[in-house]
Amino acid sequence: MMFEENDTIGTELDEMIEDIIISVRAAQTMADRFNIGFCLMPDLSVQEATRYTRLKAVEIVKPRRGNDVCRGDGG
């Protein structure tokens, strides 16, 4: 019985981590594409960085510079 409970917790944790990774990747993609900062909010939504959203954000994602930026042309 204890094993099943721990397995469920592990599955839920894996799903939460996957949701966080997806949100961070979305924020980074938007920041790179629009060349502005984006905020990852507590509900894992992604919003443009403003004075208000910066105060509420759990993470602020800035655009990357250089060759590692996705240009949308396969490079």
Query: Once rounded to an integer, what is the mean pLDDT over residues 17-23?
Result: 97
Of 41-45, 46-50, 58-62, 71-75, give the lowest mean pLDDT range.
Answer: 71-75
**Number of independent structural domains in the chain:** 1
Residue 24 lies in a domain: yes
Average pLDDT, the chain: 86
**pTM of the prediction?**
0.73
User: How far apart are the C-alpha atoms of 46 and 44, rounded to whole Å?
Assistant: 6
Residue 71 lies in a domain: no
Check whether 55 has a pLDDT greater than 80: yes
Number of H helices, E strands in the chain: 2, 3
Structural domain for 34, as ranges = 2-61
Check whether 69 has a pLDDT greater than 50: yes
Residue 27 lies in a domain: yes
The rounded percent of the chain whose pLDDT value lies above 90 is: 71
SS3 of 54, please?
helix
Query: From edge to edge, which strands make up the β-sheet containing 46-48?
Result: 46-48, 38-40, 59-61
